[in-house]
Amino acid sequence: MVLYADGDADLSQLKGKIIGVIGYGNQGSAQAKCLRDSGLNVLVGVREGGASWKRAEEDRLRVAGIAEAARESDVICMLVPDMVQREVYSKYIKKNLGEGKMLCFAHGFNITYGLIKPPKNVDVVMVAPKSTGARLREAFLQDEGVPGLIAVHQDYTGNAKRGALAIAKGLGLTRKGVFECTFDQETFSNLFAEQCVTIGGQLSLMKAGFETMVRNGIPPEIAYFECVGVAKTIMEMVERDGLKKTLYGVSRTATYGALTRGGRIVDEKARKSMQEIFDEVKDGSFAEEWLGEYEAGMKRFEELRRKGSDHPLEHFGAKMRKALGSKE
């Protein structure tokens, strides 16, 4: 895969153009500020009277209603939640998507599952930062940037990829590096990883490990150190130094124990479950279930989130952060 860097992207592609950032939440607020600070002409499109309108104005950005922002903009960045994008698109954006405009997503969900079907005479791209909005902004301000993915779904103007790379540069992503993939690859990998590895898998492992230790008489403070603090150190080592250096860098007792026991946790049954979860992502059944939950009012989601956070790990985490002097 080709890794695109700053030198491969040209901000002048967007010169004289208006970049409409639709939504001012996690990604929208970070992206709008980064694009503005990169010298681009940004217009934020949000619901009139909503909390975002006030926040964007306070951040000294030009703000308009969603339809008006879409009408005025040459590039339209869809940064409202994935579950509401179809509705926002059909109500406000579709009729304002004139020939040659660029529709830009930060996640492939709505294109992959056919929820939004843009007309043939526009460019459709994705610029997906591999971080939260807060981290994107923080890294941008530190002159660092976070990595990202770009994809081109439709290239009407012949300039779609250059446009996507320019947005990526405006967000600081090319400082770190940007890979090109397809919408499907980004959607499937992102959903699968957050379910099985980065969030779902990690949190389940931390909670189960913590519970097992405490049940066996280990003080929760010590169990917390092992499951959260040490876990973070090891993840950082793998990212910074690689697998080999990590396995050679921790004690030989740790390496022997990890290599003889780890596979008993992520065993054949766990791998089979991972495959099933990947299949649910790929065949659209997860997307259908999630949209159904959204349409039903998100009661089950709120309950799951409440229960998911109500764990001794959370209670001890708050205590430990306080005791160790972290800022809350």
Active site residues per annotation:
107
Q: Given the complex with ligand NAP, which of 107 and 153 has the nearer CB atom?
A: 107
CA of residue 218 relative to chain centroid, distance: 36
**52: which residues sit within 8 A by CB, 6+ positions away?**
23, 24, 25, 28, 29, 44, 46
Residue 173 CA to residue 8 CA, distance in Å, equals: 12
Residues 27-66 that bind ligand NAP (CB under 6 A): 27-28, 46-47, 50-52
**311: which residues sit within 8 A by CB, 6+ positions away?**
207, 210
User: Closest approach of Cβ 235 to ligand NAP, in Å?
Assistant: 18
# residues near ligand NAP by CB under 6 A: 23
Structural tokens at position 62: 């030009």
Determine which residue in the list 107, 137, 162, 175 makes contact with ligand NAP, applying CB under 6 A. Answer: 107
Among the listed residues 183, 200, 181, the one whose alpha carbon sits nearest the alpha carbon of residue 192: 200
Residues 148-187 that bind ligand NAP (CB under 6 A): none
Q: Which of the stretches 81-89, 202-210, 269-277, 302-310 binds ligand NAP when contact is defined by CB under 6 A?
A: 81-89
Q: Given the complex with ligand NAP, which of 103 and 223 has the nearer CB atom?
A: 103
Q: Token match 């492939």: residue?
A: 108
Residue 153 CA to residue 109 CA, distance in Å, equals: 12
Tell me if 26 contacts ligand NAP by CB under 6 A.
yes
Q: Given the complex with ligand NAP, which of 82 and 123 has the nearer CB atom?
A: 82
Q: Given the complex with ligand NAP, which of 38 and 131 has the nearer CB atom?
A: 131
Tell me if 230 contacts ligand NAP by CB under 6 A.
no
Residues at the site binding ligand NAP, with contacts judged by CB under 6 A? 23-28, 46-47, 50-52, 79-82, 84, 88, 106-107, 128-129, 132-133
